[in-house]
Amino acid sequence: MKRSLAGAFVLMVFFLFNCGGGGGSGADHSLEGEWAGYMFEYGELGLNMTIDGSGNITELTGDDVPPFLEGNVDDNPPIYSMTWDLDPSGTLAFSFLTDSGQEHGALVYLGPAPVNLIGTLEKGGTTATNFFPNDILGTWSGYGYAYSQSALDFAPFSPVSVEAVDGDPSDIFTVSLPGGATITGEIGHLAYAFYQGTAVTGADMWIIMSPDKQFVTVEVIPSDYSGDVQDLVFFALRRY
């Protein structure tokens, strides 16, 4: 699957709205349950993950996923930290950005560049879902995040809203930023849960939809991207 996607929203930010609330570690982890969704580049056809009451990831399966040894996720919102220990890849660390109900999450791994893995998971979801071009149409709202290489962390920016409407010959999106600024571009369906957009600025965006079609993870790559992860922008958006 084509890897290019990115930055129509160069000045925007990876949306995560009302990241999940928290609870302590132990036998009642906030994210305990079965999660399913899609990921580039592990799990393009489906990714399934089980989190137990202590925050241990007891199962991780999907197409192209290397042998899974163990993993865990903390219980310290608003931005959860998750690790996977894969053979032979070793340990991969992610940020997991959830919505207010902790029913959806944006899974983002950054670093070292140019390795970028992003995914969208739904609690209790199933990957037996058919996706269509018009599934992306509608109103989406959330927050944006940018990567800070020095801190190895995400920093939230201003909330944004996105409107995707039917167009001819291509569907059109409009991103509304605080202060009245907007960014427009074209958007289309690639395959399965994956969509791609291009802004008038030349930036590309890579979009992965949740199985219930209510949440998307977006990676934005500017047109002049040279491999520095600090130039990447991400969104975690929910349908409204």
Encode pLDDT of 29-80 as tens digits.
999 999 999 998 888 999 999 999 999 999 999 988 889 999 999 987 777 8
154 has pLDDT over 60: no
Q: What are 160-194's pLDDT values in tens digits? A: 889 999 988 889 999 887 777 788 999 999 999 99
Alpha-carbon torsion (102, 133, 169, 187), positive or negative: positive
Rounded Cα–Cα distance for residues 26 and 18 (Å): 23
The overall pTM is greater than 0.75: yes
Local structure of 142: helix, strand or coil: strand
Angle at alpha carbon of residue 204, lines to 200 and 206, rounded to 5°: 140
Taking residues 143-168, report their average pLDDT: 68
Token pair recorded at residue 114 = 């140019």
Answer for the pair 12, 144: CB distance below 8 angstroms, yes or no.
yes
For residue 64, give every residue at least 6 positions away whose Cβ sits within 8 Å of its Cβ, in sequence order, or none. 41, 42, 43, 44
In eight-state DSSP terms, residue 230 is: G
82 touches 70 (CB < 8 A)? no
25, pLDDT greater than 60:
no
Predicted confidence band of residue 148 (pLDDT cuts 50, 70, 90): low
Q: Are 148 and 160 in contact (CB under 8 A)?
A: no
156 confidence band (pLDDT: 50, 70, 90)? low
pLDDT, tens digit, 9 for 90 and up, residues 228-239: 777 778 889 999
Let me know the angle formed at the C-alpha of 159 by 158 and 164, rounded to the nearest 5 degrees: 130
d(CA 228, CA 222): 11
User: HSE of 232 in the Cβ direction (CA atoms, 13 Å)?
Assistant: 29
